[in-house]
């Protein structure tokens, strides 16, 4: 009898039953003099004792400003040391930190400020072409709950921290004693590919344990130095990066305010980092630097690649040329804190490129028929569901949307199509909403994409469904050519496919592009491809 597509990550090591503040204090007691945080652009660095002392000052200052347990504190900033200080200080007083995407414009900023009921906003002064002061001023009158905005690098930040003496260490300790590890501590807004984003509400227990287990899986100790070029406002940065490091006594290294390939490799070389994070496009950009060979990356041993599948050739270069022999692939989503599955340190190249690994300890996963909810046999494609400590508390003040995503059995329905192999490794084959239904036939874009990667003229490809009067949908292939000077016709694509793919999977339309629209977390916005080229 074929095994079912169900797996449960077992472990003799229990979950952490602590708040983030308690866990940080434990690490400080064990490694007070080890590096905890290095902000390379400004040259500032903190030991664990110094980091703990500075988060205490900020925590007391926030209490002095009247921030109560459960109050929402917005953080709208690029990667910087202050981001980390706010993350741990708000956790220590039980405030709910709301991550705000640095790319947001006025409309999106106003939505988050209002929906989360943010009372205090801490913000950078700007990012790229955005003037944050002007944008806050633009929406301020429409956000009645916003009492105060503090800009980093302004006198306001110094005034905020100067308020700390008004609250004693004993008063802070009293607040910390009131906190439970199950309290909400963080709201992260999902990308919102349709309509407004939803605020995934996460507890100490959710994100502390997830950061801890991701770090455990790649063998972090106090000897590790983790370069984090991915954004802090996303789970990849603040959970897998910051909490993964501090729960093991490792050092967080900030290479730049936002991703710069050269700055990232400089930071790795300068700080002798042992671990490097990124989405595949980041690693590709680093490897393609003209002076790549001049960076000394010999200190690296591991790292995390997530966000989208890694091409085999890229993985080979990361392992050999970047010395990341133990690099790990992670799969997850904001609503699950984020990681559910991860490759192991000794997994071979095939598992690291064809799968997202196996379920993490203390988490369950299953693959179900999207229509019936019944668990499928291994080897069959269906919707991936996950359950355990990592599943969010819910979407902030949206119980109906929460119920749509998390069922009565507390299974989070990811919306991702997956296959569980006999060895328990999972392959993500696409999104349910990306599935194309042509004349009653289900078409999985990932299958066609993988096939078209074999065409000699194609460097990258995305397949989407677009409206068709007779069949409901038809297949559109959007391609980036290896040589922009060459051309590629629809007839060439169809001839390439006809002998190997069923007729209904053969692309009916073709678009040649210079680049794909991307989300800030490095995923292709297929919805935008459909909207642009679907008519």
What is residue 128's predicted lDDT score, i.e. its pLDDT? 86
Q: Hey, where are the domains in the chain?
A: 21-179, 435-533
Evaluate if residue 523 carries a pLDDT over 80: no
Q: Which residue has the higher pLDDT, 174 or 435?
A: 174
Q: Which residue has the higher pLDDT, 226 or 153?
A: 226
What is residue 139's predicted lDDT score, i.e. its pLDDT? 96
Q: Give the residue-averaged pLDDT of 481-489.
A: 93
Q: Are strands 426-431 and 412-420 parallel, antiparallel or unpaired?
A: antiparallel
Which residues, in sequence order, are CB contacts of 42 under 8 Å at separation 6+? 80, 81
Evaluate if residue 1 carries a pLDDT over 80: no
- Say if 21-179 and 435-533 have the same CATH topology: no
d(CA 361, CA 8): 7
- Exposure string of 480-499, with b = 16+ CB inside 10 Å and e = fewer, is ebeeeeeebeeeebbebbee
Q: Give the residue-averaged pLDDT of 251-271.
A: 98
Q: Give the residue-averaged pLDDT of 157-163.
A: 97
Which residues, in sequence order, are CB contacts of 260 under 8 Å at separation 6+? 229
Evaluate if residue 41 carries a pLDDT over 60: yes
- Exposure string of 350-382, with b = 16+ CB inside 10 Å and e = fewer, is ebbbbbbbbbbbbbbbbbbeeeeeebbebeebb
Tokens, residue 476: 């559109």
What is residue 309's predicted lDDT score, i.e. its pLDDT? 78
Q: Is the peptide bond before 338 cis (omega within 30 degrees of 0)?
A: yes
pLDDT, tens digit, 9 for 90 and up, residues 134-144:
999 999 999 99
| pLDDT confidence band for 521 (50 / 70 / 90) | low
| pLDDT confidence band for 310 (50 / 70 / 90) | confident
Evaluate if residue 159 carries a pLDDT over 80: yes
What is residue 499's predicted lDDT score, i.e. its pLDDT? 80
Which of 13-17, 40-44, 347-351 bottoms out in mean pLDDT, i.e. has the lowest?
A: 347-351
Q: Tell me which fold the domain 21-179 belongs to.
A: Rossmann fold (3.40.50)
| pLDDT confidence band for 284 (50 / 70 / 90) | confident
pLDDT, tens digit, 9 for 90 and up, residues 91-102:
999 999 999 999
146: helix, strand or coil:
coil
d(CA 448, CA 461): 9
What is residue 193's predicted lDDT score, i.e. its pLDDT? 43
Which of 340-344, 385-389, 426-430, 491-495 bottoms out in mean pLDDT, i.e. has the lowest?
A: 426-430
What is residue 35's predicted lDDT score, i.e. its pLDDT? 98
Q: Give the residue-averaged pLDDT of 406-422.
A: 96
| pLDDT confidence band for 84 (50 / 70 / 90) | very high
Evaluate if residue 203 carries a pLDDT over 90: yes
What is residue 520's predicted lDDT score, i.e. its pLDDT? 65
Q: Tell me which fold the domain 435-533 belongs to.
A: GMP Synthetase; Chain A, domain 3 (3.30.300)
Q: Give the residue-averaged pLDDT of 113-136.
A: 95
pLDDT, tens digit, 9 for 90 and up, residues 429-483:
888 888 888 887 878 888 898 889 899 999 999 999 999 888 889 999 999 999 9
Summary mean pLDDT of the chain: 94
Share of the chain above pLDDT 70, in %: 99
d(CA 455, CA 483): 13
Name the DSSP letter for residue 2: P
Quick count: other Cβ atoms within 10 Å of Cβ 198?
A: 25
Quick count: other Cβ atoms within 10 Å of Cβ 1?
A: 4
């Amino acid at each position: 009898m074929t095994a079912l597509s169900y797996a449960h990550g077992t472990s003799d090591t229990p979950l952490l039953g602590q708040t983030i503040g308690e866990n940080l204090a434990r690490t400080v007691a064990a490694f007070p003099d080890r590096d905890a945080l290095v902000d390379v652009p400004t040259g500032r660095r903190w030991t664990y004792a110094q980091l703990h002392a500075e988060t205490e000052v900020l925590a007391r200052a926030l209490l002095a400003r009247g921030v109560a347990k459960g109050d929402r504190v917005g953080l709208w900033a690029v990667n910087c040391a202050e981001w980390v200080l706010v993350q741990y200080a708000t956790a220590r007083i039980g405030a709910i930190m709301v991550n705000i995407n640095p790319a947001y414009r006025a409309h999106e900023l106003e939505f988050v400020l209002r929906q989360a009921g943010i009372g205090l906003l801490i913000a950078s002064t700007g990012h790229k072409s955005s003037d944050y002061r002007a944008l806050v001023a633009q929406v301020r009158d429409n956000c009645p709950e916003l009492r105060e905005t503090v800009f980093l690098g302004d006198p306001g930040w110094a005034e905020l921290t100067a308020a700390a003496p008004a609250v004693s260490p004993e008063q802070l300790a009293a607040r910390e004693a009131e906190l439970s590890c199950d309290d909400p501590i963080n709201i992260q807004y999902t990308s919102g590919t349709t309509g407004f984003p939803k605020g995934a509400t996460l507890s100490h227990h959710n994100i502390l344990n997830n950061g801890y287990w991701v770090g455990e899986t790649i063998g972090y100790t106090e000897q590790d130095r983790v370069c984090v070029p991915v954004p802090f406002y996303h789970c990849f940065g603040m959970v897998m990066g910051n909490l993964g490091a501090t729960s093991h006594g490792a050092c967080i290294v900030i290479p730049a305010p936002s991703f710069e390939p050269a700055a990232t490799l400089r930071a790795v070389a300068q700080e002798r980092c042992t671990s490097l994070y990124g989405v595949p496009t980041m690693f590709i950009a680093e490897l393609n630097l003209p002076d790549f060979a001049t960076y000394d990356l010999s200190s690296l041993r591991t790292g995390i690649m997530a966000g989208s599948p890694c091409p085999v050739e890229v993985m080979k270069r990361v392992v050999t040329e970047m010395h990341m022999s133990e690099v790990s692939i992670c799969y997850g989503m904001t609503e699950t804190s984020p990681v559910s599955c991860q490759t192991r340190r000794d997994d071979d190249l095939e598992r690291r490129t064809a799968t997202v690994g196996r379920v993490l300890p203390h988490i369950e996963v299953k693959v179900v028929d999207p229509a019936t909810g019944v668990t499928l046999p291994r080897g069959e494609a269906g919707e991936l569901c996950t359950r355990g400590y990592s599943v969010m508390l819910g979407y902030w003040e949206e119980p109906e949307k929460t119920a749509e995503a998390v069922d009565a059995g507390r299974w989070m329905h990811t919306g991702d199509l997956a296959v569980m192999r006999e060895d328990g490794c999972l392959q993500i084959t696409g999104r349910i909403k990306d599935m194309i239904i042509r004349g009653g036939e289900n078409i999985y874009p990932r299958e066609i994409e993988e096939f078209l990667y074999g065409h000699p003229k194609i460097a990258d490809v995305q397949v989407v469904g677009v409206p068709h009067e007779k069949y409901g949908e038809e297949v559109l292939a959007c391609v980036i050519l290896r040589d922009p000077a060459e051309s590629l016709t629809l007839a060439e694509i169809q001839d390439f496919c006809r002998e190997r793919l069923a007729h209904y999977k053969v692309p009916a339309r073709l678009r040649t592009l210079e680049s794909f629209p991307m989300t800030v977390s490095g995923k292709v916005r297929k919805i935008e491809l459909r909207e642009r080229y679907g008519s």
